[in-house]
Structure 1
Amino acid sequence: MARYMFIMECKEGSQEEYKKRHQAVHPELLEALKEVGISNYSIFMDDTKLYAYMEVDDYHRAMKELENNPANRKWQAFMSDILAMDEKGDPKMYLIDQEVFHLD
């Protein structure tokens, strides 16, 4: 299982709302994440910066499958008012996929 990290950002003043929404992630989204092979998924927050970690065999395939998943589209629309978005209307994400050290 490969490990991936990505960085996102929530809008200033939206930190508490971001936390609140993640206390009640839609069950259908959790199922969709598992269906595409994502596991051990965590998000850490430092002010407005969001650092996400996940394990998945093929990150790019999983993201492509999620793009068309209704539960993911619903969640993305729900989160769009509090996340920094790119010019296409997607959350700004910076993927970090080069692991240089790991300790089990």
Structure 2
Amino acid sequence: METVALHTRLKPGREADYDREHAVIPQELDEALREAGVHTWRIWRSGRDLFHVVEVDDYARMRERLRDHPANIPWQARMAELLEVEDDYSGAQPDVKKVWELPS
């Protein structure tokens, strides 16, 4: 399994729209993500900056499988309306290794 960290940025003034869109994602998109090997996808927002942590079987394969998926195409079109920086993933080193965690 890979843990991938991503950064995206919203267009100015689109914060509330983005939050609203993500309050509940479409069920068919949820199913498509899971079928493509996504275990978890967490997003944090600070102002316009979005920080994603994705746990997935194979990130490159997941992107390939979702590229033309009928549930993903309208979702990506909507996100393109909201995002200034869509994805800064270079593919060079997708797997993030945990170095430390504050013990429980």
Unaligned 5+ runs, structure 2:
none
Unaligned 5+ runs, structure 1:
86-90
> Partners of 1:100 and 1:79 in 2: how far apart?
28
SS in structure 1 of the partner of residue 55 of structure 2 = strand
TM-score scaled by structure 1?
Answer: 0.85
Q: What is the match of residue 88 of structure 1?
A: none
- Percent sequence identity is 30
Amino acid at match of 1:14: R
Q: CA RMSD in A?
A: 1.7
TM-score scaled by structure 2?
Answer: 0.85
Where does 1:47-86 land on structure 2 (aligned, <5 Å)? 47-84=47-84
> Partners of 1:56 and 1:102 in 2: how far apart?
19
> Partners of 2:18 and 2:64 in 1: how far apart?
24
Deviations along 1:62-88, one digit per CA (max 9) or x if unpaired, are 101100101000101122211115xxx
Q: What is the match of residue 96 of structure 2?
A: 99
> How many positions carry a matched residue from both structures?
98
> Partners of 1:8 and 1:48 in 2: how far apart?
8
> Partners of 1:9 and 1:37 in 2: how far apart?
25
